[in-house]
Amino acid sequence: MAAWRAWVLADQIDGFLNERRIPSTLTTELAIARRDVDAVYFSRRRYLARITDRLGPELDEATGGNAPPKLSRAIKEALGGDAAVFESEAVLFLEASVVRARLTTTLAHVMSAGGDIADAMDLVEATRLSIYADLTEYGRTLRGLSRWEAGLFGELRGHDDFLDVLNKLATITDNELLPKLGEPAQPGYVELSRNADSTWTAGAA
Instruction: Note if the pTM is more than 0.85.
Output: no
Confidence (pLDDT) at 46: 92
Instruction: Write the pLDDT tens digit of every residue in 160-171.
Output: 778 888 888 888
The widest CA-to-CA distance across the chain, in whole angstroms, is 62
Instruction: Write the pLDDT tens digit of every residue in 111-137.
Output: 887 778 888 888 888 888 888 889 888
Cα-Cα-Cα-Cα dihedral sign, residues 196, 37, 108, 176: negative
Q: With helix as H, strand as E and coil as C, how does 143-156 read?
A: HHHHCCCHHHHCCC
CB atoms within 10 A of CB 160: 14
Rounded to 5 degrees, φ, ψ at 116 are -90, 60
Q: Mean pLDDT throughout 32-49? A: 91
Instruction: Write the pLDDT tens digit of every residue in 58-90.
Output: 776 665 555 666 777 788 888 887 788 888 888
Rg (CA), the chain: 19
